[in-house]
Amino acid sequence: MSDKIRVNTSAGEEVNASTGTYHDYVVRATASNGLIRAFACTTRNLVEECRKTHNTFPICTAAIGRLMSSALMMGVDLKGARSVITLTVKGEGPIKGLTATADNLGNVKGFVSNPNVLLPPNESGHLNVGGAIGQGKLSVIKDIGLREPYIGSVDLQTGEIAEDLTYYFAVSEQIPSSVGLGVLMNKNNTVKQAGGFIIQLMPDATEDVISKLEAKLNGIKSVTSMLDEGMTPEEMLHFILGDMDLEINDHIPVQFHCNCSRDKVSKALISLGKKELKQLIEDGKPQDVFCDYCEKHYSFSTAELQKLYDNAK
């Protein structure tokens, strides 16, 4: 017997028993000779990471998991270095709002305004994400390095996020799309499965392609059932587009990652303005500032706050 002191440095990492070692990724694909574009992802680990970071209740985990999965699939499609997409949902329901930001390298971060929402299941016995979000707006901000970011905004249709994004693509980008998203919880409220797909018709799509795709989509199961049966993102797309000349073009690993820094937090503090900063200084003690996205905190002394005050407007 060894008397060395050992620690488990992989605490919290679980391996999915049914699929072996599990990692999160997005696939990008085309079908019908490029008339169809498709994305699919599995995001279980990063949604669980987000749940642990923010201590979200199941409805909130499902909502932010769906939004982060969407942001990742839309993010990998952005052109240009350091491009970033931010999806924001603001609603009248108890969650109030949620935000997910992804870059085109597969990094995503997200948070929920009120992470502790509890509601009874909806009519179909599922987590009532639509009820928790309520009526409101979905905004999409794409920053691809141009002077002005692209901003699109639509009214929420159901608050379930997939339908709202489908509506956004139709109204704001004029792209007929089908969006499927799902987050399934374990009994202990950890994340069992998460992921989704986006399938889009290009402008030249023929009636034949459209009706074939519609017939296929009418017959599919929910994303959570597909994932829970052990289907990979590739297999989900094969299931939907397998007889339409599906070509998988990219496999992009994705992760929950926040790129906050002391410098970024300082800039955010400066942008609060002199009035807010003055109140913090008058408090007379060091202030802990938490990052919304990852809960990391940065401590600022009164002298440091005074410096930021001098730079603020």
The binding site for Zn ion (CB under 5 A) comprises 258, 260, 291, 293-294, 296
Q: What's the closest the beta carbon of residue 294 comes to Zn ion, in angstroms? A: 3
- Which of 262, 292, 256, 285 has the alpha carbon at shortest distance from 50? 256
State in angstroms the smallest separation of the CB of 290 from Zn ion.
9
Of the pair 251, 296, the CB lying nearest Zn ion is at: 296
Q: How far is the CB of 291 from Zn ion (least distance, A)?
A: 3
The neighbour count for residue 186, using CB atoms within 10 Å, is 12
- Cβ nearer to Zn ion, comparing 100 with 258: 258
**Cβ–Cβ under 8 Å, residues 287 and 138:** no
Q: What is the per-residue DSSP string for the chain?
A: --------TTTT---BTTTBS---EEEEEEEGGGTEEEEEEE-HHHHHHHHHHHT--HHHHHHHHHHHHHHHHHHTT--STT-EEEEEEEESSTT-EEEEEEETTSEEEEEES---------TTSS--HHHHH-SEEEEEEEE-SSSS-EEEEEE-SSSSSHHHHHHHHHHHS---EEEEEEEEE-TTSSEEEEEEEEEEE-TT--HHHHHHHHHHHHT---HHHHHHTT--HHHHHHHHHTTTT-EEEEEEE-EE-----HHHHHHHHHTT-HHHHHHHHHT-S-EEEE-TTT--EEEE-HHHHHHHHHH--
**Min CB(93)–Zn ion separation in Å:** 26
Shortest Cβ 99–Zn ion spacing (Å): 12
Between 19 and 287, whose beta carbon lies closer to Zn ion?
287
Q: Nearer Cβ to Zn ion, position 260 or 272?
A: 260
CB of residue 270 to Zn ion, shortest distance in Å = 17
Query: Based on CB atoms, which residue is closest to Zn ion, 41 or 294?
Result: 294
- For residues 207 and 263, which CB has a smaller minimum distance to Zn ion in the complex? 263
> Judged by CB, which is closer to Zn ion: 260, or 289?
260
> CB of 24: closest distance to Zn ion in angstroms?
19
